[in-house]
Structures are given as structure tokens and as C-alpha cells.
Amino acid sequence: MRPIVTWGLRNRLGRIIQPDGHAVMLAVDHGYFMGPTRNLEDPRKTITPLLPYTDSLMITRGALRNCVDATATVPVVLRVSGGVSILSEDLSKEQVTTSVRDALRLNASAVAMSIFVGSPHEHQTLVGLGELVNECEEVGLPVLAVTAVGKELEKRDARYLGLATRLAAEMGAHIVKTYFCDNFRKVVDGCPVPLVIAGGPKLNTEQDVFQLTYDAIHDGAVGVDMGRNIWQNDHPVAMIQAVRAIVHDGASVREAADRFKHRKDGKRGKK
């Protein structure tokens, strides 16, 4: 039985991380604690045009069931943790809210949950991650751990992220989503599983996003899991295509900016 489970887990990981070793993930799970944030008020309207350009979709079960057609072929990374809203002072009080059985019913390729290292609920989220890995490995389902920082964005440095990503890997996570930081190579070197980079709050310019993506890939991340920096842009399809060019085609920041401008201007020309 064990070789079959291992094959299934590796097969599902292969849907997320492409044969070139890289991944472009589209994060649209923000509603689980932020509600109808800008440009995600109507998830179906936001998600549908971007599906052809993402390798996988990070989403909650409610949004998946109601806002993505069942005929869609994009792999799903299902957000399975939650329990707090943006109104709470402490965003770390999360736990698993969606069962592994439901994830399988929804044909998820992986599940995702947040851990909050150094927070009042560190123990709760780390133990929850370990238990989720135990359950998921029984059925060959990969687990992505998110090194969340809640509202304490100042925690995003190499020392903290190196600790958080390593703890996630030690607990058994198969992929870890974290933030880019100075000396990011140190974070990569200390984490034995693939890292994908969060976009975080929307950056000031497209150039900033392209630079973040380029630097992260250059320093060892396998890909990005971006949301607001794509779908809060005025030209989200052009944006994801440009990010994809960096991740999968090895484009430079300038080449990505040129591709973005070309796609953006091309869209205008069709109006």
C-alpha cells in the first residue's frame, strides 16, 4: 500500500510544481479572513480570466464550489484552516476547518494551512500542521504550510522566516509558502522542502512585483503564490503573464515589464 500512496502524493505535487521545477500559484483564498476585499468581491469574475495562466489555484472550499466551474482543469490547493477575521486583534487563532475527506471530494491536489510561529497560538498551529500531515499522508495528499505573520509584518526577516520555514518542514509539510526577505538564500538553504513566495500586500508598482519575483527565483524559491499583486492590478491577465515569464521562461525584470506593457496595450487595442 505504501508505494501507491507515495506515487499519488508525488503525482499531486507534480501538478503544482511543473516539470521545469517551478510554479505559478494564484492565491484567491483571502476571503476566509478578509471577506470581500477589493477586486475579490465577485470571485468568479476575478478568477475565470486568470485560470489559463496559473499552474494551481489556492482557494477555500466555499469559493471553489460556488465560483469555479467543475469542468476547470487547474489543480486546486485547498485552504483548510481558518477561524478568525480581519477584525480580530490576533489572527493566529486558526485551526483546521475543512476535513481531508472534503478536500478529496473536491479533487484537491494539495491542502494548505497557516502556522504562526512565535504567536500566542504557535503550539496550536504547529500541532495542527503535524496532525494534518499525518492524515494527508494516509491518502497521498500534499500539505502546503503558510508561514503567516498576521498583522506583524515586521517579522519578515531571514532569522524569523528561516525558523518558521524549517519548523514547517520538520513537521512534515511538503511545500512551504513564505515571504521574501534580505538574505533569502539563507532561508532556502535551511529548508529541505520547496519554497514558494507570497506576494503579500499590494506593492506600489508592477516593477516592484517583477523585481520581487525575479529575486525570489534567483535566490532559490521554486515559484510564487500571488494574489493581490495580480488581481488588484488594473490589468491582471497581463500581470500574471509577466510574472509567469519570470518564473517559467527565465525572463529578466525588464523583459517582464516589456511583456506586461505589450499585453496591456494589446488589451486596450481590442476594446
Is 271 an active-site residue? Answer: no
Q: At what angle do helices 253-270 and 206-218 cross, to 10 degrees?
A: 140
Q: State residue 212 phi and psi, 5-degree precision.
A: -60, -50
Assigned C-alpha cell, 13: 505535487
Q: Which of 177, 261, 270, 271 is catalytic?
A: 177
Its sign, for the CA torsion 238, 79, 91, 85, is positive
Which residues lie across from 112 on neighbouring strands?
Answer: 79, 144
Q: How far is CA 198 from CA 148, 156, 179, 227, in A?
A: 10, 11, 5, 8
42: Cβ contacts below 8 Å, ≥ 6 apart: none
Q: Find the Cα–Cα–Cα–Cα dihedral 193, 232, 242, 145, rounded to 10°.
A: 0
Find the DSSP H helices in 138-271: 158-170, 184-189, 206-218, 228-231, 236-249, 253-270
- CA–CA dist 184, 186 (Å, integer): 5
Which residues lie across from 110 on neighbouring strands?
Answer: 77
- CA–CA dist 191, 169 (Å, integer): 7
Catalytic residues: 177
